[in-house]
Structure 1
Amino acid sequence: MQRSRRRFESAAMGSIMLDLRPGLGLGPFSLGMPICEALAQIEQQPNVYDAVHIKYYDEEPLKLDIVISLPDHGFHLRFNPWSQRLRLIEIFDIKRLQMRYATACIGGPSTLATFVAVYALFGPTYPGIYDKERGIYTLFYPGLSFAFPIPSQYAECCQDGEAELPLEFPDGTTPVTCRVSIYDSSTDSKVGVGSLMSKACVPPLPAGSLYMEEVQVKLGDELWFTVGGQHILFGASPQDVWTDLGRPCGIHQKQVDQMVIHSASDPRPRSTLCGDYFYNYFTRGLDILFDGQ
């Protein structure tokens, strides 16, 4: 299923510039970040990230990646469905995104990301892998790969281990990248298009991280956070929770049941909100409900 939204009709479409960090991330998006943090980054720049599509598999939500797609800028953010952490960044339309690496730029409408240009910017590397079925040659660097479409008449010169780098065809042309993948470089996996996409793994959590912290529950009594050691008692005040868990990511009022509101025996005003409210701790996967009375 795909959810999409568009915030401002007048927002400009087209190329933006983001810092390319091989093995680490792209612009404000870092590999391993929770999906809630990525969405917060997008929300902070509504004029830049105007069109946002969120895609997931309705029938089995833990089977396939959760994908945040930014079509105006030609890239996807792929999140592991279990941990909801960023495992792979894919640039699928290099003309819509200009990437800055060190002091040079590549991509966008004016700087073609050709094989020769990529090789000159990132330096020599081992020969890549040629996918005969897709007609794609993938060049790998640590935490970074570039996929190039190869015309069928030049397929023979791109066999694994036989291509001379940088790749140029007999007619003097050089292929232009059709996809860039950014992934964790702590493993030796080669990540690219097709089956190679599944090899991208979420980087390990940093030492002391509270993300996916084990929480023990004592029904009707308390929650105990095993890493931080906090005890949240049922009946605790908002001030107590704020002191123990820190500032919440969001605060939202609770909606009440529409059928209850419209029942003849209910004398309350016909509003969808009540006095109860939530503290939202998205990075902990936790909402805490307070009695508004």
Structure 2
Amino acid sequence: MRYGNSTIGGPSTLATFVAVYALFGPTFPGIYDKERGIYALFYPGLSFEFPIPDQYTDCCHDGEVALPLEFSDGTTPVTCRVSIYDKSSDKKVGVGKLMDRASVPPLAPGSLYMEEVHVKLGKELYFTVGGQHMSFGASPQDVWTEIGRPCGIHPKQVDQMVIHSASDLRPKTTLCGDYFYNYFTRGFDILFDGETHKAKKFVLHTNYPGHADFNSYIKCNFVISVGEGETEANRGGNKITPSTNWEQVKEVLGECGPAAIQTQGSTSNPFGSTYVYGYKDVAFEVMKNGHIATITLFQS
């Protein structure tokens, strides 16, 4: 953390109680939580929490602590949590107040962050903020016109799944002229056919920790409604979102065949392999903890 011209925290500068107090200056006595063994020190807009060893809990009663807090053996506790929040007086947070209500700052009008993307399997994506429709078979020009310039363009050098394709009559070679449009800031990729230059797949990312692509994309806030109509699906709860785990997906779509195992090698992905399960028009990449990593949309 940087405050003014100084940095605190990390391996080079531990955020001890004494260091925090020296950097941010005097403040009111904090609050000691006996059940958790945590002493919280508050400043306008942020707070620091410090674990207190059992042998020193007697010196941490509210209003009786001499600041900065140092123990009798000359040591001082190290920060275990930093919270940053709205310091407005009507939020009941700030100097000497418990954080019983902290609101998320409102998004700017038209912001695309966490925009809902409604999926019609085998047909199209619908972006709810901008009102754009993106269908299979769209050209690169269509995509640029509807959702703007991609963050990156990545050629697909190897098609490892071509051997499983029964409908592709082209020679079975791993060399591939297909290419991706990467929209990292919106959480998805579009795969174009290298010969026809038409969109043939959409890859939507959940950005869950424990996946090789974590923090490369923001979360795509997709909604897949399953049923005869979207209204019926929403009423019946037959929806799949980034928060839906694999067991819940099977409750909505039913059981499927065995998984294909996908791995990028232990060197590039220390979390190990993932499992790809296929249904009509959609494939789910599932991590070992049962969370969805990506969904790939295509036309069967």
Greater RCO (CA < 8 Å, at least 6 residues apart): 1
Larger Rg: 2
**Could you say which structure has the higher strand fraction?**
1
TM-score normalised by L of structure 1: 0.49
TM-score normalised by L of structure 2: 0.48
